Amino acid sequence: MAKQKGSLDFKLMSWYFMLRDIFHPPKEILAESNVKNGMQVLDFGCGPGSYSLAAAEMVGDKGKVYALDINPMAVQRVQKVAEKRKLKNMEAILSDCATGLPDGSLDLVLLLDTFHELEKPQAVLAELHRVLKSDGVLSFNDHHLEKEGEIVSGVTGGGLFRLSNKGQRVYNFTKVG
């Protein structure tokens, strides 16, 4: 995935995301990703968990959200906040790529503001392709990638995904094959 951030970097990132979430609430982004009640969702590169926690509320008791990150501090924080909010439909995963989830088990994967940090983006995309259902969606944004062509080719270049629609803030991709 990406290099693990140190304690100070993680705290600064968490503070920045709290501010970001005031101006761009996670549920607005997740609405563009079509998060629905009952879905099985993976937030790949969850960081402090803004999207994971909001998604867990949106998928309800019949859904499940997996929050994956390379940083143990991120995983611990997500677990702690989920426990505090009594969100029993969340599971945190510490990993740099492999999810440990069954083939074709997810409705939606969130890859939000993470792609630019991936050391092996094609390996990650292959893993996300593997765990998505045949009609599953990869929802993507990354403000570090400025050009639409750079974003689309970064995800579709390996032949695993095709662009299905572009919203105001996210690009949604479907599986090829």
pLDDT tens profile 101-118: 999 999 999 999 899 989
Low-confidence ranges of the chain (pLDDT < 50): 3
pLDDT, mean over the chain: 91
Count Cβ atoms within 10 A of the Cβ of residue 17 and give its class: 0-12 exposed, 13-18 middle, 19 or more buried. middle
Q: What is the pLDDT of residues 30-56, one digit of tens each?
A: 999 999 999 999 999 999 999 999 999
What confidence score (pLDDT) does residue 62 get? 97
Q: In 3D, which of 174, 176, 158 has the Cα closest to residue 166?
A: 174
Query: Is the Cβ–Cβ distance between 174 and 164 less than 8 Å?
Result: yes
What CA–CA distance (Å, rounded) separates 128 from 86?
28
What confidence score (pLDDT) does residue 149 get? 83
Domains with residue ranges and CATH for the chain: 7-175 (3.40.50.150)
What CA–CA distance (Å, rounded) separates 4 from 25?
25
Amino acid symbol at 144: H
Identify each DSSP E strand in 33-157 by its residue range.
40-44, 64-69, 90-94, 106-112, 132-141
